[in-house]
Amino acid sequence: MRINVIKVDVKPKPLLIIGVYMPCRGGIDADRDYREITDELSEIILKYKSSCDIVIAGDTNASTARDKPNSRDKLFLDFIKEHNFYTPNGLGQENTYFHPSEPIISNLPPRVKWEKINKEKYQNMVSNKLLEINLEPEKSTYSELSNVTSELCAILDTAARACAPTQKSKSKPKSSRSWSPAINKACKVSKQKFWEWKCDGRPLNLNCMSLINMKEAKKRLRSTQRQHEAMLRKSKYEKIMKAHEGDQQTFYRLIANQRKDGSVQTTCLKVEENLLSTPNDIRNGWADYFEELATPHYNKNSYQNQVELDCLFLEDIFRSEQKSQIIVSEELVSEVICQLKNGKAADSAGICSEHLKYGGKTLVVMLTKLINLIFQSCTLPELFEMGLVSPVFKNKGKPATDPNSYRKITVTSVINKVMEKLHLNDNSTIINKIQNYLQRGFTAGISPIFAAIIITELFAEAKDNKLLLILALLDAQKAFDKLWHSSLLRKSYQIGIEGDKWLMLKAWYNELVSQVKWSGGLSRPFPEKQGVRQGGVWSPTAYKIFINPLLDLLQKNGLGCYIGSIYCGTPTVADDICLASNCPYELQAMLDLQENYALQENYTLSETKSTVLVTGNQDTHEFLLNGSLIQQSETATHLGITRDSKSRFDSSTVVQERISTARRATYAMMGAGLHGINGLNPCVSLHLIRIYIIPRLTYGLEAIRLAAKDLTTINQYYKRLLKQIQHLPDKAADSACYLLLGEPPIKAEIHRRILTTFGNIIRNFDSIEHQLAWRQLATKSKSSNSWFIMVKSILEQYDLPSCYDLLQNPPGKLTWKELVKRTVNSYWDNKLKLEAASKSSLKYVDIDRLSIGKTHLIWSSAGQNTHAITKASIKCRMLLGVYTLQANRHKFNQYEVEPTCPLCKQGPEDRTHFLVQCQHLTSIRQPFIDALSKAIEEMSPGLYQQITSEPTQLTQIILDCSSSHLVLPQFYNRLECISRGLCYALHIARSTALDIHYNAEYSTLQFSKQWRKDTHNNNNNNNGINASQYKADHKPAMASKSIPDHEPVMPSKSVPDHKPTITVAMASTSVPDHEQTMASKSVPDHKPAMP
């Protein structure tokens, strides 16, 4: 165990002390092991850093002060930088924490729990109340619309809370620690024994009975506490598995609860050199910070004055010629309401999407009238101007006390969101028509990953033609928060948004007000005079309109890279702009244009956060931005994908980063039972992996090319993960590891994502990616680095239609995804079965019945019982031939170890001998065999005799009953339950007997050594000694027999290695049809960790 953690409950904040012993250097996988430990540390830090002060001590096997750091030092330094840690010699003198003295009280109304509300009652109450509202066309003034809107929101909020069940007030807070009657009893005994020891004068003599009794009582108390925690953990896992089978909402809630730990908010904030510590001060500090951010600070020049003047002229013209251009129907309003997502935060009026969805037809009619009146007057009600700001920590190794480490997310009015969606849908045709085709962000039918594919093609083109390629990745400071409203409105008019549509857009960016929501309270309101709200419906599109002229300007001047005749100089996703060029002087010209545009439009480019990546040429070039040099590096990250300038496919570090991210996510899920022994059923664990691990493991891999060694690395990680959740050793057959779970290798998932992305490209005929596909497939050879050539080879591998056929006749989205899934699964199904058929260890596995997408009976029949899952893991090892018997030891020790059964001494101990023939285990085996014969005879009289005529056939039924054509499917679960209990009972009996035997041999060996030593000493003193007399005098603590002739002695302690830590109470008669409890304690005292 390399990590030990102690939590010290001190004031004002708990202290988490992490003791660590990092892996040493020298091994083949030393760096990989080091990354695994740092990832595990990272997960612990992310979970507890908000609620505890953290100190890491121990042997890190790395240096922070070496002049030339090695690979291990770099990993450790990156770890320190990522989590904003510091070493003791860098300890600062300033205070970093101030504990607030005032209590934490929430002044905000509690959230409505819609799953507990009577929906029909709510709808009827809303319908009755809405009849009292008189909404006439003449009530379209600002004040009238504001009053009606406030009244409507009040009706919805009041009705929802009236229909919610009343909650009983809790007089006492719930204790975080469970305290059972058994613990209470043990605690009283421990206190009594401590009192007796205290009355005895607190003796320290180890032979004193009062001291012995006190220590024994304390030991029993701690053991009782551990047993209770284990029982709670078992109950939690069973709840998760039960919810997985039916209630998905409860399932995900239980999983999420395992990651919650304390508050995630900082307790102090540094605003303009002022440290704020109380919640109220922090709220006002946030308000000051965001108000400063939302206030323009620029000197107006002739351009700015002209823009402001143009907006005034446009407003006068459109107001004088105002006519209603936007009229919505009840069907459109109802459709948009249905598109809103459930479970989102409520707005300033306490309204969320569920209030509208469950309001019924009357509410839809009222909303339609209200929205049409607002569109007619082009005036926004006061309630719609208010936003609730939530600072969200970016969590990228930045200090939590710095406001710049947070992202400003605003919750706007839900009814206003409906209006924004209707307005945006009405203008979508205009926007899509003028949008630059290299803008890949927030566009229907276009994935942002397309921009990454364009960059991949630029690298491939440069490598194929041995060209210089320079990428400039630019960072705009607070791009969304500092957007210039007047310039946005002017550009909106220039693209064709006019009349009432323009006036309505202006209303959404005029006289906006926000409040900060923090620690259960709201800050003072503050105005927002610039920026678009992150969280608003129109915000992403507004930013695209704002930045679009820059992309058009660069393309119009022909600045940037071309692939053939296709311009690819500015692949962009919203505010993430990448400038690409084959000429350093051309790139500098592009940077100058970008700088001038930013200066003109009143936003700032950060030269310190921007970076330049140069590949294909060793000549040095310098690039300027804002008069300062831009840093150049060998690696740079764009859209979450790290590019490098040295490797063939520009992606040598991506796989290690993905594995590190996936490993941290896996550690995060261990609290929910995602581990091997004593964890969740592997079926449930696999579901968690598909939902939480695979997306992190494969993100961005569909947009790049991977080297063969990278594919091998990621495949080994995923294969090892699947073996761990099944509690299988590394030597288990890889094909069986996949087939038992019905899961293909991760390579298949990557190929599936690549083909799905290609399907998206071929359906977008007008996209640049579609043009690149035709060009690259027509001009590139098989040796090319092009992404599309890789796609071509993958299509050929799976015998799918050719690229050219797909480009000419693209299938539908669902049709293509289904075809890809079916074909990829079939390919790997055949390949894995062919590999499994060549493995002698899998001779008892019915390979033909295994398939991708279907879990084997050994796991599907285990259900939710954690003890049944433990039994199934033992049986799974026997089924795959990795359960260590004497025949295995004989094989893997160059035949130096005898294969003879150590229990009965009759023949080699293989699986058939152990399960069916070993005479020493007959009494253990017989009750299960009787139950097995009863079940088989119920299927067909005389069938059991037919099966038992050949021991290997009975072994086959025990290990995999589904493999026999004689067994009916309706008896699978029953036979599996019996055979699972049999395998486990034999495992416990064998482990116990051998444990006693080896302990006796060890005691005898120690006695012999001591006897020879004493004999030698006595001979030197001319004193003879008799062995029998020596044995009688010393009476060594050893077993009187090695292996009993009849029933083995029942185990009284845990067994090591593959033996689970279980105390057994064996069945002596018969085995019932249902799962028989073979253990009184099925979980260890500590929490199991990932192997």
Across 157-235, the runs of DSSP E, i.e. the strands, are none
Which contiguous run of DSSP H or E holds residue 470? strand 469-476
* Amino acid identity at 338: C
Whose structure tokens read 């598995």? 241
Beta strands at 269-271 and 274-276: parallel, antiparallel or unpaired? antiparallel
What is the phi/psi pair of residue 780, to 5°? -95, 145
CB contact at 8 A, 768 and 565: no
Q: Cβ neighbours of residue 548 under 8 Å, at least 6 residues apart? A: 434, 435, 436, 439, 491, 495
- Residue 8: beta bridge partners? 15
Nearest to 516 by CA among 673, 390, 381, 686: 390
Residue among 268, 568, 227 at smallest CA distance from 403 = 268
As a whole number of angstroms, the distance between CA 929 and CA 472 comes to 72
- How many other C-beta atoms lie within 10 A of the C-beta of residue 232? 12
Q: How far is CA 182 from CA 149, 185, 190, 220, 539, in A?
A: 59, 5, 12, 10, 59
Specify the pLDDT at position 1044: 36
512 sits in which H/E element? strand 512-518
User: How many Cα atoms within 13 Å fall on the side-chain side of residue 564?
Assistant: 13
**263 to each of 51, 260, 470, 774, how far by Cα in Å?**
6, 9, 44, 53
What burial letters (b/e) apply to 425-438, b meaning 16+ CB within 10 Å?
ebbeebbeeebbbb
Q: 3-state DSSP call for residue 643?
A: strand
Quote the tokens at residue 927. Answer: 């009750």
User: 339 is written with which tokens?
Assistant: 């598109």
What span, in angstroms and rounded, lies between the C-alpha atoms of 987 and 35?
A: 36
- List the chain residues with pLDDT less than 70: 26-28, 88-107, 137-140, 167-178, 259-265, 396-397, 618, 997-1091
Q: Taking a C-beta distance cutoff of 8 angstroms, is the pair 660, 667 a contact?
A: no
How remote is the C-alpha of 1060 from its chain's centroid?
A: 29
Domain map (residue ranges) of the chain: 3-90, 181-257, 432-484+536-646, 654-849, 885-1018+1026-1081
**Residues in CB range of 956: below 8 A, 6 or more apart:** 844, 963, 964
Q: Rounded CA gap, 237 and 685, in Å?
A: 11
Kindly state the tokens that stand for 402: 């710095």
pLDDT in the model for residue 1015: 60
Q: In this predicted structure, what is the pLDDT of residue 1022?
A: 47
Q: So what's the pLDDT on residue 942? A: 78
CA separation for the pair 1014, 1008 (Å, rounded): 10
Residues whose CB is less than 8 angstroms from the CB of residue 584 and which lie 6 or more positions away in sequence, other chains included: 468, 470, 621, 623
Q: How many CA atoms lie within 13 A of 32 on its CB side?
A: 10
Phi, psi of 524 (to 5 degrees): -70, 150
- Angle at which helices 768-779 and 449-465 pack, to 10 degrees? 30
Architecture of domain 432-484+536-646: 2-Layer Sandwich (3.30)
- Say whether 7 sits in a helix, a strand or coil: strand
DSSP string, 309-371: HHHHHHHHHHHHT--------HHHHHHHHHHSPTTPPP-TTS--HHHHHTS-HHHHHHHHHHH
| Three-state secondary structure readout of 706-756 | CCHHHHHHHHHHHHHHHHHHCCCCCCCCHHHHHHHHCCCCHHHHHHHHHHH
Backbone φ and ψ for 896, nearest 5 degrees, come out as -85, -20
End-to-end CA distance of the chain: 10
Answer for the pair 852, 722: CB distance below 8 angstroms, yes or no: no
Q: Which tokens hold the place of 565?
A: 């005749």
Note if the bond before 12 is cis, omega within 30 degrees. yes
Phi, psi of 110 (to 5 degrees): -65, 155
Residue 466 Rama label (left phi>0; alpha psi -120 to 50; beta): left
Tokens found for residue 567 = 């311009």
What are the phi and psi torsion angles at 587 (to 5°)?
A: -65, -40
Contact present, 841 and 663 (Cβ < 8 Å):
no
Any idea how long the chain is?
1091
Q: Tell me the whole-structure pTM to 2 decimals.
A: 0.82
